[in-house]
Structure 1
Amino acid sequence: MKALSDRPGLGILFICFGVVAISVNDMLIKLLSGGYPLHEIVAVRAGVGLVITLSLVKLEGGWSLLRTRTPLLHVARGLMVVLANMTYYAAVAVIPLGQATALFFVAPLFITLLSIPFLGEKVGPLRIGAVVVGFIGVLIMQQPWKEELATSRIVLLLPVISAFFYAILQVMTRKLGLTTRASVLAVYLQVTFLVVAFGFWLVAGDGRYVDRVESEALAFLLRPWIWPEGRDALVMLVLGTLSGFVGYALSAAYRMAEAATVAPFEYVGLPLAILWGWLIFGEWPGASVWAGCALIVGAGLFVFLRERRRQSPAPGRRRLWGRR
């Protein structure tokens, strides 16, 4: 029988489902970003998501599962996902969805690096080299040879910063997931979102600071709350439903397989983001974005293939745990 943390096939299935849902989530948030503050969208999304994740906790074993011996680690993990979301969606409000997603997809490379000190996973020089190539792709998308860009380079760095926070989150998930159910991990995330969103509402919910900023990304964080009506209310309900299942799927994926195994499958979201950007927002990546994408994706796939090769048994030896 396979160990809970040694089920790579199921982990990959969960990560693919979660990433597809995230791509739809990102597209819908970009649709709403012109009229609502991010913390309002997050509050509604987390409220609906919390109901779903609590239902999953009940199905997986009951409320006693919510007890934890590591509350500080759960709080730290929750803060990482909040920071990852804030920095990423602040960028999505300004730059094309495909470009933001491509920059964010250095996250698996960050995860590969962080898995060395935090998870004790062995990463050889070839995979380290692939990580370097991936970050060269980020540099190309920053276009340092240009004196001026249509978008601030700080805004272009936001998805990369988000990827770093997200990588820390998933490494923490791997540690917590050995003893904590995926539904419980998702509940703690939704609660953190609600607490942070409520804090933003107390400080900036009336829009008192929005006129003091020129950046569209900061304006998305500081706009006043507006009661959603009609289609917008439905979109927020869909966002909450997606959030509930995304949190569970990602937590389950990183509980069931090694980080370096499941992380590269997050690249499924990149072509989807480009598709949504083209269909919904009329965005099409330029040459530097395509070049950066190729290096980042190529690096991630190389890391994945090396990991799979490392896990494969030598010829003539028995396979362990049914791996292929």
Structure 2
Amino acid sequence: MNPIFKAALFMTGAIASFSAMAVAGREVSFALDTFEIMLFRSVVGVVIVCSVAAFTGTWRQIRTDALHIHGIRNLAHFTGQNLWFYAVTVIPLAQVFALEFTSPIWVILLSPLLLGEKITAARAVAAILGFIGILIVARPGMAGLNPGIVMAGVSAIFFALTNIFTKRLTRTQSITCILFYLTVMQLVFGVAMAGYDGDIAMPDSQTLPWLVLIGCAGLLAHFCITTALSIAPATVVVPIDFIRLPVIAVIGMLAYNEAVDIWVFVGAAIIFAGNYFNIYTETRKNVS
């Protein structure tokens, strides 16, 4: 199979998974708070990861030499995912996804501090375009910054931290090891945060299928993106990922009567242009 076509198929799976997770998160929000959603998502994740590790015989890849990095990564991801689940319940889904696309911009800005990487001219241009896009999507002077927009924007920062520490972990840790600590540590975080008041709402017959979907979709989305990037250049994968925005906008319109805001698309397109310009420049530099 052609690598580009194969990558496109995996990205189709990622788009479907992210969209399903957003819808499922909104559907269970009436009964569970974000900490409880993350708790039960992690339960599903632990079962899946441990089953796959047992079936494939990759238990031996789970190491303990980088637990502190795993802890920082998973705390960042847990925080970002909680904020993201909150955002999908209070603002249009397309707006959440548009602001999520700023995560690579934050990677550019935080990498010099955490990875020792330099900010090149291309990365600076990408960051500037990204912030212009944020202003267009959020339009703080038009309707004010509501909590949903703020939470969606901040979640992108924590997702960027997650990506940075994931990059550090992949130098020495396997995918099985990373996913194992992802699900186990976030299960512990979920129990602690959901149970701090001594009251954890349990899923019922109505919310349980949505929670299983969230757990499966979360793991599948990251697996699909990682696989797509392993078989095709980022310059191919990233534009396909951008299709998430019109897809979720249509879903929001059909399922929740959300209006399609053209300025969300304009801002997201500028954010995408900045990301793509940086990826294209980095690719050309590596080839030369």
TM-score computed with the length of structure 2 as normaliser: 0.85
What are the Cα deviations for residues 197-227 of structure 1, in whole angstroms up to 9, with x where unaligned?
Answer: 2112322353xxxxxxxxxxxxxxxxx6153
Q: Give me the CA root mean square deviation.
A: 3.1
Which of 275, 282, 303 is the aligned partner of 2:257? 282
| One-letter code aligned to 1:192 | M
Distance 1:15 1:120 in 2: 30
Q: CA separation of 1:255/1:168 partners in 2, compared to 1, >3 Å: closer, same or farther? A: farther
Gapped regions of structure 1 (runs ≥ 5): 1-6, 207-223, 314-324
- What's the counterpart of residue 38 of structure 1? 34
Q: Give the distance between the partners of 2:213 and 2:237, measured in 1 at CA.
A: 26
Question: How far did residue 89 of structure 1 move?
Answer: 1.3
Q: Per-residue deviation at 1:301?
A: 2.1
| 2:126 matched residue in structure 1 | 130
Task: State which drifts further: 91-100 or 177-186.
Answer: 177-186
Query: In the TM superposition, what are the counterparts of 1:1-324 in structure 2 within 5 Å?
Result: 17-119=13-115, 121=117, 123-146=119-142, 148-149=143-144, 152-204=145-197, 206=199, 225-230=201-206, 232-249=207-224, 266-313=241-288
Instruction: For residue 33 of structure 1, report the CA deviation from its aligned partner.
Output: 1.5
Shift of 1:181: 1.4
Change in CA separation of 1:22 and 1:253 when aligned onto 2, cut-off 3 Å: same
- How big is the shift at 1:73? 0.6
Q: How many residues align?
A: 286
Separation in structure 2 between the aligned mates of residue 12 and residue 67 of structure 1, nearest angstrom: 33
Q: CA deviation at 1:71?
A: 0.7
Is contact 2:98–2:137 with CA below 8 Å preserved after alignment? no
Report the TM-score when normalising by structure 1: 0.76
Choose 1 or 2 for highest CA Rg: 1
Q: 1:50 to 1:66 in 2, by over 3 A?
A: same
Q: What is the CA distance between 1:162 and its match in structure 2?
A: 0.7
Q: Which amino acid aligns with 1:29?
A: G
Q: Structure 1 residues 103, 192: CA separation in 2 closer, same or farther (over 3 Å shift)? A: same
The percent identity for this pair of structures is 27
What CA distance in whole angstroms lies between the structure 2 residues aligned with 1:267 and 1:108?
Answer: 13
Query: Aligned-pair distance for 1:36?
Result: 2.2
Write the letter of the residue equivalent to 1:112: I
Contact 1:134–1:296, Cα closer than 8 Å, also in 2: yes
